[in-house]
Amino acid sequence: MSKGLPETRTDAAMSELVPEPRPKPAVPMKPVSINPNLLGYIGIDTIIEQMRKKTMKTGFDFNIMVVGQSGLGKSTLVNTLFKSQVSRKASSWNREEKIPKTVEIKAIGHVIEEGGVKMKLTVIDTPGFGDQINNENCWEPIEKYINEQYEKFLKEEVNIARKKRIPDTRVHCCLYFISPTGHSLRPLDLEFMKHLSKVVNIIPVIAKADTMTLEEKSEFKQRVRKELEVNGIEFYPQKEFDEDLEDKTENDKIRQESMPFAVVGSDKEYQVNGKRVLGRKTPWGIIEVENLNHCEFALLRDFVIRTHLQDLKEVTHNIHYETYRAKRLNDNGGLPPGEGLLGTVLPPGPATPCPTAE
């Protein structure tokens, strides 16, 4: 009994140090005033702002290809389009040098920033397309280049440890420059667009439109549209890719009225009515690049950058790249022979027994 006494005292001391919790008297909560305007508000509309912040951090990729004869102002137009020196003139070959058999393709990358938004712009220049005497199958190097970019993206996708953000070098848009003859398209123009319209978004452009009168320009545009339709050549925006009635109405107007865009490019400024404008000086006056009464450059810029840039990227990914990807994965199991879908070497198959001589 005497030995258990200290333990009893210790228990009593513990009970004094740690008193048993007692239930608190219930106090009615103060009513919270609810704003009737916020009743039912969840906040899902902030998703747009969240996406905007995230995409502004990562930036955008846009790859544009220019194709056409030398001297049509391809580099100048792209510089005018993005208001920056994003392209350079093709280096001319000397007469003593041997003219290369294939088209030389140059990809020039730049980072453009506007309003806090960064865009990595790559201009793929194809100088002197169709300039040679023998232009048979001269579109093949361009088609090969486009498919090579799809192949690069596909190989990054099928890697086991693939990158969080795959570099996108795929061609999102191809500006095809048509010579302002005022008559009809060359057979080479039709062949090129027929082959390439299946693998890339083609936007036909009539270059140096200031060399034609308004009547000639209107008639030439109608003739080009008719020739493209007769030859079954689909240019961007393609009819079958219109997602809803609003898109169809907007794109039908572009297809029937604006295409192909008759444009003038210039990186020089002139003083017109007290304002500095981009233009081309001619003996009869100044052609203002951004004046819709003079040319359709402003329509092309709005179409490519302000309204359809994201759609160009989506059509490239969802249509052209997926078509290439499906065909590629159906051939030899997806990758070159000897490699599995994930880039691992497949084990050899069972050996075929040699026939025995009887």
* Res 237 pLDDT > 50: yes
* Average pLDDT for 229-237: 92
Provide the pLDDT for residue 225. Answer: 93
What tokens does 302 get? 């709005």
* Average pLDDT for 225-235: 92
Does a structural domain hold residue 36? no
Bigger pLDDT: 220 or 117? 220
Condensed to tens digits (0 to 9), the pLDDT of residues 140-190 reads: 889 999 999 999 999 998 888 888 888 899 999 999 999 988 788 888 889
CATH number at residue 139: 3.40.50.300
Does a structural domain hold residue 349? no
pTM: 0.74
Does a structural domain hold residue 21? no
Condensed to tens digits (0 to 9), the pLDDT of residues 259-293 reads: 999 998 887 888 888 888 888 888 878 888 888 88
Condensed to tens digits (0 to 9), the pLDDT of residues 320-355 reads: 999 999 999 888 665 554 454 444 444 444 444 444
Does a structural domain hold residue 47? no
Bigger pLDDT: 188 or 71? 188
Does a structural domain hold residue 9? no
Q: Check: CB of residue 177 under 8 Å from CB of residue 66.
A: yes
* Average pLDDT for 61-65: 93
* Res 12 pLDDT > 80: no
Condensed to tens digits (0 to 9), the pLDDT of residues 36-53 reads: 565 667 788 888 888 888
Task: Please state the domain count of the chain.
Answer: 1
Query: How would residue 27 be classed by pLDDT, with cut points 50, 70 and 90?
Result: low
Question: Which of 236-245, 252-261, 314-323, 329-338 has the largest mean confidence?
Answer: 314-323
* Average pLDDT for 291-316: 90
Provide the pLDDT for residue 100. Answer: 39
Provide the pLDDT for residue 116. Answer: 79
Q: Check: CB of residue 262 under 8 Å from CB of residue 246.
A: no
* Res 204 pLDDT > 80: yes
Condensed to tens digits (0 to 9), the pLDDT of residues 99-121 reads: 333 347 888 888 888 877 888 88
Condensed to tens digits (0 to 9), the pLDDT of residues 13-26 reads: 444 555 555 665 55
Alpha carbon separation from 267 to 79, 82, 109, 152, 271 (Å, rounded): 7, 11, 19, 35, 14
Provide the pLDDT for residue 36. Answer: 55
Provide the pLDDT for residue 168. Answer: 92
Provide the pLDDT for residue 152. Answer: 93
Does a structural domain hold residue 27? no
Query: Distance between CA atoms of 286 and 270, rounded to whole angstroms?
Result: 8
Distance between start and end Cα atoms, the chain: 106
Does a structural domain hold residue 154? yes
Query: Which candidate, 89, 83, 93, places its Cα nearest to that of 66?
Result: 89
User: What domain range is 252 assigned to?
Assistant: 54-89+97-265+293-329
Does a structural domain hold residue 183? yes
Provide the pLDDT for residue 13. Answer: 47
Across the chain, mean pLDDT equals 77
* Res 83 pLDDT > 60: yes
Bigger pLDDT: 89 or 172? 172
